[in-house]
Amino acid sequence: MSTIMFPQKDLREETAALRAQILDRLSKLPWDGLSFAHPVPGLSLYRIVEPAGPFSSVYEPSLSFIIKGSKNVRVGNETLVYDEGCFFLTAIGVPVTAQICAASEGEPYVAAALRLDMGKVRRIIADHDIHPTDIPERDLGVAVGTATRELFDALFRLISLASSPADIPFLAGHIQNEILYRLLTGEQGARLRRFALAGTHSNRVAKAVLWLKENYTKPLRVEELAEIANMGVSTLHHHFRAMTAMSPLQFQKHLRLHHARELMLSKSLDAATAALQVGYESPTQFNREYRRAFGHPPLRDIRAILNSNDSTRRNSAG
């Protein structure tokens, strides 16, 4: 297992005033526990006042900013550690395990996440003929990049629309397009561009991932998945593992376990029933793999979550 840390002391200093403005604006919003339901579609805000996690979830294509604090995110065997100087880009939906190690009432963890519309990404690339410097394709579908003043400024303006909801239909889209443009023309632009455009290995793997997410309960035939991705079986395995840090079969297993956990929490299903609904034929195998993934057998894990009312274990919290 490898750990990648991204210290950004100089950038934290450069964006300190902007982040202070964002925190001041957030302090005036009507929070509901750890989150705020922002009226801008796709924008989520989080405020955590105690250490949280590790919690597991399936990230959708999104862009996350830490406004205050730091976070560990594990994808496969690789752990990324980032803070206010960085953004976290998810270009492809992947199962992750995340942890917030330090947070308190006086020093809360505060973050924002913006869902990415890949259709918008493609339109911006086409309209502005964006060709960033490319990087090797054999890398993860998640990345940590530099959180610049320009990105935080756009985020501040997007968050501020909560106080003028009538402006959202016109302004929100323009600000989101600005954020996407800055991503595409920045250091992670090549990665985002590859996943958006047809014909690249990244885009083909993204098609395989989407199929798995929509059909995770079905038996997996790698040959069928390779045909969907328009790749050879060995090529699919190679690029799929490089971009998700796991094989297609491992990816499917993580999806099944995550959704089974959600079923037990949201619908009060027992472990055996949840296992069957997500595609497991053997409850014993399900229990064994669940414990390996979440640290405890299903019943004990669900009881611990419900008894502690620890909603952060069920949420990626930005």
pLDDT tens for 117-139 read 988 998 888 887 776 555 554 46
- Report the alpha-carbon distance of residue 29 to residue 153 in Å, rounded: 18
Going residue by residue through the chain (318 aa), what tens digit of pLDDT does each one get?
Answer: 445 555 455 678 889 999 999 999 999 988 887 888 899 999 999 999 998 877 778 888 999 999 999 999 988 778 888 899 999 999 888 888 889 988 999 999 999 999 999 889 988 888 877 765 555 544 677 888 999 999 999 999 999 999 999 999 999 999 999 999 999 998 888 888 888 876 788 888 989 999 999 999 999 999 999 999 999 999 999 989 888 888 999 999 999 999 999 999 889 999 999 999 999 999 999 999 999 988 899 999 998 888 765 554 455 566
The alpha-helical segments, DSSP class H, found in the chain are: 9-26, 118-128, 149-160, 168-184, 189-196, 201-214, 222-229, 233-244, 248-267, 271-277, 283-294, 298-308
The pTM assigned to this predicted structure is 0.80
Residue with structure tokens 């990324």?
80
The candidate with the shortest Cα–Cα distance to 279, out of 314, 253, 261, 247, is 253
CATH superfamily of 2-191: Regulatory protein AraC (2.60.120.280)
**Which residues, other chains included, contact 64 with Cβ-Cβ below 8 Å and sequence gap of 6+?**
87, 88, 89, 90, 111, 112, 113, 114, 318
Phi, psi of 4 (to 5 degrees): -115, 120
Domain chopping of the chain, boundaries: 2-191, 201-246, 260-314
